[in-house]
Homo-oligomer: A and B are copies of this chain.
Amino acid sequence: MSVTIKDIARESGVSYSTVSKALNNSPLVKPETKKKVLETASMLGYTPNFAAKNLVSKKSRTIGLVWPAIDRIALTALVSKINGLVTAENYFMILSVDEADKAIGMFKGFQVDGVMIFEEGRETMLHSDVFSSIPILSYGVSGDHVYPIIDVNHKKAIHLAVRHLIELGHTSLSYIGDATPGDKRQTEKLNGFYEAMENAGLTVHENSIGNTKGLSWYDGYLAAKNLLKTSKPTALISGSYDISVGVLRAAKELKIRIPEDLSVISYDNIPQMASLETELTSVGVPIEQLAKKMVASLLTLIEKPDSISLTQLMEPKLALRKSAKSLQKHL
């Protein structure tokens, strides 16, 4: 049986509404009373019951984060950052690794004030009544969503990568990533590649595109092995951190040195890029920016639900590391 405000009231000789006020630091209670109440509270080891609190206040100062693909490690740093920002705003954050609909159902039950969704692959289809009843923000890809999305300008990210490689003198570029039609985020990247190549007046050969058909490192590994055996590009762009891990494995097995024999730029601008066997030059929105924008947007959405907040496109940046080299030096 845990301690309630009534216990504190009895113990400190005041009414329990006074205790409530004291605990909430209301200016309506005398400092001495407040002090006494606070003391007995901590003496008794009181912890508030959110269930009761949320029930009456209809607020929980908690946001829920849906993150079914925890094994996709590109996002861990982002999650930590978001947690920090949310904490600074005096909110709690709870995570669920369940699928979006189940997770949101649970979060709603817990009366969370808002939900963030980290989509992976296909877009989450939610019942229309869900996102009308609770602020939802998705880190996904713009589409015909009914809820706001923080999105990355994926095309531009790939443009950046292509341009950088061309500046380094490369003309024989390949792209490796997931081209499964359902996944807009991934197809955007691929389209960005085609576009950038066309803009530069370069042709994309059929066998210079590697379709990983998935997002795990192993998908990347298989596709890279296949691609690097059949064509000999001097530069390669990879669609994600995990895929890059596979690319590195494949390159190693084929005795292709990076960047000496092959320049690589990976999508995903995250710190982990520096921990790979070869530090990978990468493109993407820096996670600090992403985290800030996401938290700010969701909190605005929570505080004034009427504010129309549309899809927001974040600008990617190029992070130079050690995997892309000028072609001249290869000669």
* A residues at B contact (CB < 8 Å): 2, 45, 47-55, 60, 62, 70-71, 73, 76-77, 79-80, 83, 87, 92-98, 105-106, 108-111, 127, 129, 133, 217-218, 245-246, 248-249, 252, 275, 277
Contacts and interface: CB of A to CB of B under 8 A. Distances in A.
A95 B97 contact: yes
Nearest to A246: B275
B49 A52 contact: no
Contacts of A129: 45
Contact of A275 (B92, B106, B108, B217): B217
Given A92-B106, A277-B252, A80 B87 contact: no
Contact of A73 (B55, B76, B93, B249): B76
Given A73-B73, A94-B96, A97-B80, A50 B110 contact: yes
A93 B96 CA distance: 7
Copies in the complex: 2
Contact of A83 (B52, B97, B217): B97
A186 to B, nearest CB: 20
Contacts of A60: 51
A52 B55 CA distance: 6
15 contacts: A2-B133, A47-B105, A47-B109, A49-B111, A50-B109, A51-B51, A51-B55, A55-B55, A70-B70, A71-B76, A83-B97, A93-B97, A94-B110, A95-B97, A252-B277
Contact of A110 (B2, B71, B110, B245): B110
A215 to B, nearest CB: 13
A95 B98 contact: no
Nearest to A50: B109
A227 to B, nearest CB: 18
B108 A47 contact: yes
Contacts of A48: 109
Contact of A109 (B49, B55, B80, B217): B49
A99 to B, nearest CB: 10
Contact of A49 (B55, B92, B249): B55
A114 B211 CA distance: 44
A76 B2 CA distance: 33
A198 B111 CA distance: 58
The 10 closest A-B pairs by CB, nearest first: A50-B109, A95-B95, A45-B129, A51-B54, A51-B55, A94-B94, A51-B51, A217-B275, A71-B76, A70-B76
Contacts of A53: 109
B51 A110 contact: yes
A296 to B, nearest CB: 20
Contacts of A80: 70-71, 97
Nearest to A77: B71
Given A49-B111, A51-B51, A92-B106, 17 more contacts: A45-B129, A50-B109, A50-B111, A51-B52, A51-B110, A51-B111, A55-B55, A70-B70, A70-B80, A71-B73, A71-B80, A79-B97, A80-B97, A94-B95, A94-B106, A246-B275, A248-B277
